[in-house]
Amino acid sequence: MTDRTDPQDAPRLDDHPGEGAVRGTQRMEIFVDAVFAIAFTLPMVEIKLPEAGPHFGAELLALWPQYLGYGLSAVVIGIYWVHHHFSGAIYRTTGHHFLLATILFLIAIGFIAFPTRAFTEHIHEPEARETGAIFYTCALAATNLTWLIKWRTGRLTGDVDARLDKAYVERLTRKYNLTAALMVTAAALVFVRWEAGLALAAAVTLFYLRAPETPVYVTEAPTVEGEG
């Protein structure tokens, strides 16, 4: 799709014919990081301050499922942000279709706090807790699928940095494929046995607390330009 001859070249505005103005990744990150930041912080408005009264302290403590909802949602969004931040060094340009796939991913990120709360805020009530766990697990799986769609789109459109070692890119693809397969399994399992489905989805998500593999470049690794 591109006629780039030297992978060391900086991206050019006219590089992807038919894909509009292809630009570097930096500018896209402003919008993406702002959506991440709002999705991360916004759930705090759902926690209502109790009225003053003799049980004010106990009521503050009793809000722990809501604090948990905020914290859990922030951890999941935070993990996705760290990996998105990482992949910002993997992509080199942002074509039109890659931006659309990013929008889809961000719709999932903006939504995820809601199913998180459906689970955590009803954690005391067996029936609602199970329903919440199903909703939450399915939402985690759907979010993961949008990540995979974004990755696949980026590969198809040539937005992934051409200087990366092909085997390295292949390993990332396999890792994302496997993750998505496990998340879909969790979403199926949660309907059968909710604790197992949720535990699998949580384990897969927490696995991403580990640092991703350092990128391997065929050509000499680029310096981080414009970043003091």
Q: Scanning residues 118 to 137, which ones bind its own copies (CB under 8 A)?
A: 118, 121-122, 125, 127-128, 131-132, 134-135
Min dist. Cβ of residue 163 to its own copies (A): 10
Helix (H) or strand (E) holding 24: strand 23-24
Binding range to its own copies, per CB under 8 A, among 11-19, 142-150, 182-190, 191-199 = 11-19
Of 60-99, which residues contact its own copies (CB under 8 A)? 60, 67, 70-71, 74-75, 78-79, 81-82, 85-90, 92-97, 99
Binding range to its own copies, per CB under 8 A, among 106-114, 142-150, 170-178, 198-206 = 106-114
Burial class from Cβ neighbours inside 10 Å (0-12, 13-18, 19+) for residue 97 reads middle
Residue with smaller CB distance to its own copies, 195 or 213: 213
Q: Is 39 in the site for its own copies (CB under 8 A)?
A: yes
Q: Which residues pair with 24 in a beta bridge?
A: 93
Q: Kindly tell me which residue out of 1, 7, 8, 41 binds its own copies, with binding defined by CB under 8 A.
A: 41
- For residues 148 and 127, give the distance between their C-alpha atoms in angstroms, rounded to a whole number: 32
Binding range to its own copies, per CB under 8 A, among 105-113, 148-156, 171-179, 180-188 = 105-113
Rg (CA), the chain: 20
Of 199-218, which residues contact its own copies (CB under 8 A)? 209, 211-217
Q: Is 167 in the site for its own copies (CB under 8 A)?
A: no
Min dist. Cβ of residue 215 to its own copies (A): 5
Q: Per this entry, what is the length of the chain?
A: 228
Which residues have CB under 8 Å from 121's CB, separation 6+? Answer: 65, 66, 69, 132
Q: Is 31 in the site for its own copies (CB under 8 A)?
A: yes
Q: Which residues pair with 164 in a beta bridge?
A: 217
Contact 81, 36 (CB under 8 A): yes
Residue with smaller CB distance to its own copies, 161 or 183: 161
| Strand 93-94 relative to strand 23-24, pairing | antiparallel
Residue with smaller CB distance to its own copies, 81 or 176: 81
Min dist. Cβ of residue 125 to its own copies (A): 4
- For residues 141 and 202, give the distance between their C-alpha atoms in angstroms, rounded to a whole number: 10
Angle between helix 194-207 and 126-156 (nearest 10): 40
Q: Is 6 in the site for its own copies (CB under 8 A)?
A: no
Contact 141, 187 (CB under 8 A): yes
Q: Is 117 in the site for its own copies (CB under 8 A)?
A: yes
